[in-house]
Structure 1
């Protein structure tokens, strides 16, 4: 498939591409490109991802296709999403370099990004959660990543001119935003050819979602916020498949859905995936390991993630209270009591937004098009459906009653 100088790379043509690209060749330099080890590892829905290794080093090369990979050419998708991913990666690396891989090369015509190889023993966080591995620094690292990337791209830090310019740049990522609008906020609430669930066990549950008018009112409000609220540069797909981890390191990858949107969508996505992991644990229990202790660790991590994010985010706000940010000008909000009221109101709304988006993300992963391995790897369909039903029921409650929760501890208590 070729379009305007674009070709889909394979193992052979990628070797030639690297040889002609100094910024990549310098990382894996070898006189004989045929000796480069090239392995395709993309298990996502959209792109090809290659690990390229030589005796000199390793890199990752990612290429976006002009269609949805898991569906095929019948579902076209702009390859321009790679521009927004590369741009977001560079910005996020600048704001949180300990938790984002460095970009070495970007080719807009070929939709190719070359970046740091996140070396073993890093694994995808979702796989670690399924395996029951504890990551003691995960909450600290994710809170730091979210606080830095969200605060410094918001009007709490930027001038309105800077902010509007950045919003305008990322407005071009419209197709990926429309995909999210469809699969998160629309398809699960109507009959759609792409929806699926663990049938026949969840047939009634999927129908109940489609017939729940209160739920539809709430998801409409969340969709409006997603479409209209240009709060900060968000990752746009911050699930546990977009995070690579070891016990000491956390790396956030794949921000191709990035745009200026509501902060709560990123926070909510991560919360949602921890909750999905929690509800899936009973399906992974085995004789001698009932996973109860691990479920407790997941919930502790969930609480720590929000609480540490809250602390880090408001600390940045305090540090820069006299900075260029135009949301709350220091000349107006220099009274200590008023500043605390402003922060409290802002963070409460952000918390409720995050819970609402978390609920929407959970629902779409159970009765929508793209599911999660946490549940899909449970081979017994009855057991899988039972885990999914409990997650779905909790998510529906959370979306409808999110404003009644004041602390993350309240949310955890309701889920247990």
Structure 2
């Protein structure tokens, strides 16, 4: 398997071998386009254009000790192809220029330099209502357009689901998982230990995990949170659907709402987002809120930490509310 690196000579040789560069095209620079965790990703600027190249390897790029399915970028390409059959969705995603299946490498349009919505985790930042409704419009359009009633195609993505399942429904609750949460925020480890010792909670979480692993009827983005939403002058764009699969919408919307809560967004805005989704999609709200709770717990006490700025008191409130939601 070819392993890409950020040296211009090696990148040029590879891209020419795939005939992905024009004859008179030369690479001027190669840089990381953002703070992504999962993959080796570069923005390549040439004398004629810029594009994104992404390779998925047998580990998580940010955490090399964590194994991950190397074919995940191929599932992402499948998502773009399937969702791209809907014009409204295609306009909000990058186009795939090339795909090297043997080496799990994808070439995509560069949507331009800019921010994702991770800035929402900063103290006092609020997402513009129009942007949030656009984010909800995309996912509602996806769920209503690509499902078992509209297509015979399926994306299972079983290996990625099993990886995600481990980190959402199991890893945070292990007595010894290698994370010292007091290094993140003093006092947090004590709160996590209470959850780890709660057998009733852990049993209920595992039951929700079975629902996540079961095949469903709706194409999900699979990781629909502020890091997957790009803020561009031309509007909101959606990226990184490598966790995509056909599942249940309650998981998808639960994740989204959980991140809005952890970003301390106004409650009325969160409710409006939920109403906007339900205007066009059916949703089991009780089940959705349970997935909200699971995502909050795993992000606050699990490995995939967020740049949260909410204080310990707020995190404890969220954890207690999450536990109550799951076990009741």
Calculate the TM-score normalised by the size of structure 1: 0.71
SS in structure 1 opposite 2:52? Answer: strand
Residue 8 of structure 1 is matched in structure 2 by 4
- Deviation of 1:196 after TM superposition, in Å, equals 4.2
Q: Following TM superposition, where does structure 1 have runs of at least 4 consecutive aligned residues deviating by more than 4 angstroms?
A: none
Task: Kindly report the root-mean-square deviation, in angstroms, between the aligned alpha carbons of the 2 structures.
Answer: 2.3
1:78 aligns with 2:69: yes
Residue 168 of structure 2 is matched in structure 1 by 184
Counterpart CA distance in 2 for 1:354 and 1:385 is 25
Residue 198 of structure 2 is matched in structure 1 by 212
- Deviation of 1:248 after TM superposition, in Å, equals 5.7
Counterpart CA distance in 2 for 1:368 and 1:236 is 18
- Deviation of 1:398 after TM superposition, in Å, equals 2.8
Residue 250 of structure 1 is matched in structure 2 by 236
Residue 366 of structure 1 is matched in structure 2 by 300
Match of 2:177 among 193, 214, 217: 193
- Deviation of 1:307 after TM superposition, in Å, equals 1.1
- List aligned pairs for 1:16-415, cutoff 5 A: 16-22=13-19, 24-25=20-21, 29=22, 31=24, 33=26, 35-72=27-64, 74-95=65-86, 96-120=89-113, 122-130=114-122, 132=125, 134-155=127-148, 157-158=149-150, 162=152, 165-166=153-154, 170-171=155-156, 173-198=157-182, 200-246=186-232, 249-278=235-264, 295-296=265-266, 299-313=267-281, 347=283, 349=284, 351-373=285-307, 375=308, 378=309, 384-401=311-328
Counterpart CA distance in 1 for 2:94 and 2:25 is 27
CA contact (8 A) 2:121 2:262 kept: no
Counterpart CA distance in 2 for 1:151 and 1:237 is 18
- Deviation of 1:144 after TM superposition, in Å, equals 1.6
CA contact (8 A) 2:43 2:51 kept: yes
Deviations 1:141-192 (A, max 9, x none): 122211121122223x336xx1xx51xxx33x22211111111001122224
Counterpart CA distance in 2 for 1:225 and 1:128 is 29
CA contact (8 A) 1:136 1:247 kept: no
SS in structure 2 opposite 1:59? Answer: strand
CA contact (8 A) 2:83 2:146 kept: no
Long gaps (5+) in structure 1: 279-294, 314-345, 402-416
Change (3 A) 1:262 1:44: same
Deviations 1:337-388 (A, max 9, x none): xxxxxxxxx53x2x22221111111100111111101x2xx4xxxx732332
- Deviation of 1:205 after TM superposition, in Å, equals 0.8
SS in structure 2 opposite 1:237? Answer: coil
Counterpart CA distance in 1 for 2:196 and 2:303 is 15
- Deviation of 1:247 after TM superposition, in Å, equals 6.8
Counterpart CA distance in 1 for 2:188 and 2:25 is 55
CA contact (8 A) 2:135 2:229 kept: no
Residue 288 of structure 1 is matched in structure 2 by none
- Deviation of 1:267 after TM superposition, in Å, equals 0.9
- Deviation of 1:67 after TM superposition, in Å, equals 1.4
Calculate the TM-score normalised by the size of structure 2: 0.89
Change (3 A) 1:136 1:16: farther
CA contact (8 A) 1:42 1:48 kept: no
SS in structure 2 opposite 1:99? Answer: coil
- Deviation of 1:37 after TM superposition, in Å, equals 1.7
CA contact (8 A) 1:139 1:302 kept: no
SS in structure 1 opposite 2:224? Answer: coil
Long gaps (5+) in structure 2: none
Counterpart CA distance in 2 for 1:397 and 1:246 is 38
Which deviates further from its counterpart, 392-401 or 355-364?
Answer: 392-401
CA contact (8 A) 1:93 1:101 kept: no
Residue 322 of structure 1 is matched in structure 2 by none
